[in-house]
Amino acid sequence: MRLATADLTHSRLPEAAKTAGHSTDRRHRVHSIRDYVTEVEGRFPTLDELSRVFGRSARTLNNEFAAEFGETIFDYMTNHRLMMAHEAILTSDVALKKVADTLGYTHVNNFSAAFRRKFGCSPGSLRRRRTACAGPDLVLGD
C-alpha cells in the first residue's frame, strides 16, 4: 500500500479524469471516476471536490455512478479500500495503524469497526489467523 493524500489538482489526475469533465459520455465519466477514486489514497475526496473535477453536480455524479456500479461513490471507495486492507493484512506485517492511516481513517478504532462490519472479524484477528475472514461481504478477485 502506498501512502498519499487526496490531491485534486488537475496536474495530478489520471489522464482519463482530465477529459471526463468535458465528456458527454456518461459511461466514460463514471469509469473515469472509478479509476480515479481507486488510485487516490488517504482522505476520501468529497463529492463536491469530485464534482468540480468532473464537471457535473455531486448528485448527478453519485446517481450516474450508482446506476453503473450498483453503489454510491463513497460505498465503492470504502469497499475497495477495505478489500485492499484485507489483502495487506493477510500478506504483510504492516502495522494496523499504518493501514488505517493509508486508508484515510483518523482513528484505528474507526477502521477496525468498518473492517469488522464488512468481514465479520477484526483486523487483528485476521492478522493472527492469516486466513480470510468468513464475512458475508468478502468477495475476492475484484
Residues 142 and 124: their CA atoms lie apart, in Å, by: 23
Instruction: Give helix then strand counts, H and E, for the chain.
Output: 8, 0
Closest by CA position to 13, among listed 42, 43, 33: 33
Q: 81-112 pLDDT, tens per residue?
A: 999 999 999 999 889 999 998 888 889 999 99
Is the pTM higher than 0.75?
no
